[in-house]
């Protein structure tokens, strides 16, 4: 039975979530995924992205039952859990989320779970997050902002530092090296849940670690043989490839794919794409904005796909795609677009 405090907090959280979502978003279906029958030997874990679901299943094997909140083809940036999903989280053994401001609903969920004995994990713990580049092609750059406000910007340095985590780029899982930290954090969580399965968890974690290191080497090799290092993409979710591999994303919109680019941003991307003779433009598996297609037509670019690994498509599920196979698909897609 839930405590009176939990029930009150849950109802309050549901009210807040409902108020925040009152405008409605037709982009994401709110139907929860049916849960599988839970056996006594399994830990029930709720996740917010496919990467977390995949890593937990890979390391935990038959000892875990994982349910991902966001349905196939959905957008985790704008997703809001249903009342039923909030109850499922409360009944689970653990709740694992990305963090770094990626899931807008997480704070309400965590407040609801306080004192209920449910393990929670922010998967980006221990990762040096890069700062977002929302203003890379925006109407007002950081320098312009500082010039306009002068001393006010200096006075606000402590506020900016306090909110640095909120302004971070949350897509760290796309870097195979940082994905290793995700895997380690998940491995430690599973050991805390079920220490009696340490040997199995350790074996599975070691295999995943080796596979991620191999993936990193494959990514490096692809970049080292590419003809160019710039690519146009529908949203700025690939900054960690810039830091790790020296690639440069030319993003149409900001860190969230639902951010609408300004007319100036669109024109800048078109001019840059034409000047660099870009003949490919990347969109994502769960979101193809019309503006991206318009830019591709304007500069005569072929549309290719990158997988952000936030959620899988129905086709991904049918083929049994996982983190490693989807990332190798990204490498092959980049190889096509970065070579003339």
Residues 134 and 170 sit within 8 Å (Cβ to Cβ): no
Between the alpha carbon of residue 85 and those of residues 23, 109, 146, 216, the distances in Å are 20, 10, 43, 35
Q: Write out the chain's pLDDT in tens, 340 residues.
A: 444 444 444 444 544 444 444 333 334 333 334 344 444 558 899 999 999 999 999 999 999 999 999 888 777 778 899 999 999 999 999 999 999 999 989 999 999 898 888 999 999 999 999 986 544 443 333 333 334 344 444 444 433 443 445 589 999 999 999 999 999 999 999 999 999 999 999 999 999 999 999 999 999 999 999 999 999 999 899 999 999 999 999 999 887 766 778 888 899 999 999 999 999 999 998 776 789 989 999 999 999 999 999 999 999 999 999 999 999 999 999 999 999 7
Residues 272 and 230 sit within 8 Å (Cβ to Cβ): no
Residues 129 and 168 sit within 8 Å (Cβ to Cβ): yes
| CATH value of 228-338 in 3.30.420.40, 3.20.20.70, 3.40.50.1980, 3.40.1350.10 | 3.40.50.1980
Among the listed residues 272, 281, 286, the one whose alpha carbon sits nearest the alpha carbon of residue 70: 286
> According to CATH, what is the number of the domain 4-128+169-211?
3.40.50.1980
Residues 69 and 49 sit within 8 Å (Cβ to Cβ): no
- Domain coordinates in residue numbering, the chain: 4-128+169-211, 228-338
Q: What count of other Cβ atoms lies within 10 Å of the Cβ of residue 65?
A: 21
């Amino acid at each position: 039975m839930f405590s009176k405090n939990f029930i009150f907090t849950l109802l309050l959280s549901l009210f807040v979530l409902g108020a925040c979502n009152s405008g409605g978003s037709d982009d994401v279906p709110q139907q929860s995924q049916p849960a599988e029958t839970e056996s006594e030997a399994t830990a029930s874990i709720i996740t917010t992205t496919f990467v977390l679901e995949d890593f937990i299943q890979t390391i935990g094997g038959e000892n875990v039952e994982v349910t991902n909140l966001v349905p196939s083809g959905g957008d985790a940036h704008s997703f809001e859990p249903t009342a039923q999903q909030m109850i499922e989280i409360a009944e689970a053994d653990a709740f694992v989320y990305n963090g770094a401001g990626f899931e807008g609903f997480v704070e309400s969920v965590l407040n609801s779970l306080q004192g209920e004995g449910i393990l929670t994990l922010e998967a980006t713990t221990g990762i040096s997050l890069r700062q977002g580049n929302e203003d890379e092609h925006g109407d007002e750059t950081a320098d312009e902002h500082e010039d306009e406000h002068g001393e006010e910007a200096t006075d606000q340095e402590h506020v900016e530092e306090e909110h640095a985590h909120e302004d971070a780029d949350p897509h760290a899982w796309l870097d195979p090296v940082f994905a290793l930290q995700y895997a380690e954090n998940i491995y430690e969580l599973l050991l805390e849940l079920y220490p009696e399965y340490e040997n199995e968890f350790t074996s599975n974690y070691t295999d995943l670690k080796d596979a991620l290191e191999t993936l990193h080497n494959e990514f490096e090799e692809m970049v080292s043989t590419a003809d160019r290092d710039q690519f146009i993409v529908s949203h700025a979710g690939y900054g960690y490839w810039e830091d790790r591999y020296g690639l440069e994303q030319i993003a149409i919109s900001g860190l969230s794919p639902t951010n609408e680019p300004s007319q100036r941003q669109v024109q800048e991307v078109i001019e840059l794409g034409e000047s660099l003779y870009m003949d490919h433009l990347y969109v994502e598996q769960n979101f193809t904005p019309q503006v991206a297609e318009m830019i591709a037509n304007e500069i005569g670019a072929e549309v290719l796909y990158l997988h952000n690994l936030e959620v899988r498509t129905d086709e991904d599920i049918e083929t049994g795609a996982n983190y490693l196979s989807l990332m190798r698909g990204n490498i092959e897609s980049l190889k096509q677009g970065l070579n003339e």
